[in-house]
Amino acid sequence: MLRQSEARDRPALIELFASPEVGTHIGGAQPRDELERTVPEVPGRRPGFFVVELDGATIGMITFDRRVADAPGPVRPDAGEAWLGYLFLPEAWGRGYAAEACEAALSWFADALPGEPVVLCTQAANDRAMRLAAKLGFTEVERFEAFGAEQWFGERVWSAAPTRSRAAVSDIPEVLFVCVHNAGRSQMAAALLQHHGMGRIAVRSAGSEPAEEVNPAAAAALAEWGLDITAEVPSKLTTEDVEASDVVITMGCGDTCPVFPGKRYLDWQLDDPAGQGIDAVRPIRDDIDRRVRGLVAELLD
Ligand SMILES: CC(C)(COP(=O)(O)OP(=O)(O)OC[C@H]1O[C@@H](n2cnc3c(N)ncnc32)[C@H](O)[C@@H]1OP(=O)(O)O)[C@@H](O)C(=O)NCCC(=O)NCCS
């Protein structure tokens, strides 16, 4: 099972970074006493960080990070791709657990951010990591020298999506955005939350009276940030949508949104982009973006 980290994962994560076998592949083990001093009480509490649990024991971790432009490896104009990392305790190696957990993480990522590539980098001499990368559908982009060793840089594109895994993904917050037409505000919010959530949050949007198509000015404002919502189709709000969500964020649909106990309801007061040009929509986009970033921090930290 994949889940967010908790305080009880601390010993296993310290073990992971102190392990000489793991260290061989990641530039050296870290001194245990230093880890004991520096690892936070709840380690790895950040977007993109999963622990892998098997029968109640923490056996490894999987990370997705946005790749920074000056990271070693190919210089790509689209730096910022999701970067996959995997580290498992040696006693869990050789049993297929890493493959199963990574497949679960990747298939969930692909559902949340369809079409977004995922990259990974490992030492070319790291046979296990290379076999795992191939099993997961990564193909070589290039090899390069860094950190005193040959590095392998691979990419997994959407068409190579692995089949859905048996492993369960739990504790994923589900967020539903609702506005009247599901054409502007809720579409922008959903796209921004998918982007910033990096697959850590399940996102839906719907409208009480869905429009025929997405608002072109909203699509243009997001296109300026490299996000494409032109293929989205406004959809009618259903009771099931609300039932399936943990957080329901309304944006001007008032009391047409059904209310269930146990859900968290928020109402974001936003200007309506309907009928407005891109100059008027940009500040609405920026406002939604600020709120979405705050929501990501709140849900995942
Ligand atoms: C990289 C790493 C995660 C790979 O772990 P792994 O256990 O070898 O990977 P898998 O889960 O794919 O297991 C594959 C092995 O399990 C075996 N296996 C046994 N039972 C299995 C089952 N039921 N299903 C699938 N495979 C099974 C496979 O035959 C395969 O064995 P082989 O490697 O001898 O061919 C692990 O070695 C690791 O954490 N290394 C240190 C950190 C690291 O190097 N990270 C990468 C840096 S980016």
Q: What is the pLDDT of residue 48?
A: 78
Is 165 contained in some domain? no
Cα 219 to ligand 1 centroid, rounded to whole Å: 43
Nearest CA owner, ligand 1 atom 41: 22
Cα 35 to ligand 1 centroid, rounded to whole Å: 25
Residue 154 in tokens: 């691979």
Is 301 contained in some domain? no
Is 217 contained in some domain? yes
Domain co-membership, 258 together with 185: yes
Cα 85 to ligand 1 centroid, rounded to whole Å: 14
Rounded Cα distance between 193 and 291, Å, is 10
Cα 119 to ligand 1 centroid, rounded to whole Å: 19
> Mean pLDDT for the chain?
87
Is 169 contained in some domain? no
Q: Answer whether 0.95 is exceeded by the pTM.
A: no
Rounded Cα distance between 9 and 44, Å, is 9
**177 conformational bin, left if phi > 0, alpha if psi -120 to 50, beta if neither:** beta
Domain co-membership, 11 together with 96: yes
Q: State the closest ligand 1 atom to the C-alpha of 93, by its place in the atom list counted from 1.
A: 7
Question: For residue 59, what are the contacts with CB-CB under 8 A and spacing of at least 6?
Answer: 12, 52, 53, 88, 89, 91, 92, 97
Contact criterion met (CB below 8 Å) for 208 and 183: no
Q: What is the pLDDT of residue 165?
A: 39
Q: How many domains does the chain have?
A: 2
- In the chain, % of residues over pLDDT 90: 56
Domain co-membership, 20 together with 148: yes
CATH number at residue 245: 3.40.50.2300
Write the pLDDT tens digit of every residue in 45-98.
Answer: 777 789 999 999 999 999 988 776 666 777 565 556 789 999 999 999 999 999
Residues of the domain holding 194: 174-293
Domain co-membership, 186 together with 63: no
Domain co-membership, 22 together with 153: yes
Nearest CA owner, ligand 1 atom 29: 94
Cα 167 to ligand 1 centroid, rounded to whole Å: 16
Q: What is the pLDDT of residue 208?
A: 87
Rounded Cα distance between 245 and 234, Å, is 18
Is 225 contained in some domain? yes
Domain co-membership, 180 together with 269: yes
Domain co-membership, 200 together with 236: yes
Nearest CA owner, ligand 1 atom 35: 94
Region of poorest pLDDT, from 14-28, 50-64, 177-191, 249-263:
249-263
**Which residue bears the tokens 């917050």?**
173
Is 168 contained in some domain? no
SS3 state at 294 = helix
Domain co-membership, 193 together with 98: no
Domain co-membership, 179 together with 222: yes
Q: How far is Cα of residue 234 from the mean position of the Cα atoms in its chain?
A: 23
Cα 15 to ligand 1 centroid, rounded to whole Å: 18
**Selection from 131, 137, 111, 155 nearest residue 25 by Cα:** 131
Rounded Cα distance between 63 and 106, Å, is 11
Cα 102 to ligand 1 centroid, rounded to whole Å: 11
Domain co-membership, 260 together with 197: yes
Q: Which of 112, 127, 160 is the last residue in one of the domains?
A: 160
Contact criterion met (CB below 8 Å) for 54 and 85: no
**Selection from 121, 125, 133, 26 nearest residue 79 by Cα:** 121
Sign of CA dihedral 69, 162, 114, 190: negative
Q: What is the pLDDT of residue 112?
A: 72
Which of 15, 52, 88 gets mutated to test ligand 1 (max ligand atoms within 8 A of its CB)? 88
Q: Which of 130, 160, 190 is the last residue in one of the domains?
A: 160
Write the pLDDT tens digit of every residue in 153-177.
Answer: 999 876 433 433 334 444 688 999 9
Residue 156 in tokens: 């997994």
Pocket of ligand 1 (CB under 6 A): 22, 25-26, 85-88, 93-99, 122, 126, 128-129, 131-132, 135
Sign of CA dihedral 138, 141, 143, 146: negative
What are the percentages of helix, strand and coil residues in the chain, rounded to 5? 35, 25, 40
CATH number at residue 146: 3.40.630.30
Q: State the closest ligand 1 atom to the C-alpha of 126, by its place in the atom list counted from 1.
A: 44
Which of 63, 128, 135, 165 gets mutated to test ligand 1 (max ligand atoms within 8 A of its CB)? 128
Q: What is the pLDDT of residue 79?
A: 59
pLDDT-based confidence at residue 24 (cuts at 50, 70, 90) = very high
Write the pLDDT tens digit of every residue in 104-142.
Answer: 889 878 877 777 889 999 999 999 999 999 999 999 999
Is 9 contained in some domain? yes
Domain co-membership, 117 together with 208: no
Q: Which of 138, 160, 182 is the last residue in one of the domains?
A: 160
- Mean pLDDT confidence for 25-32: 91
SS3 state at 125 = coil
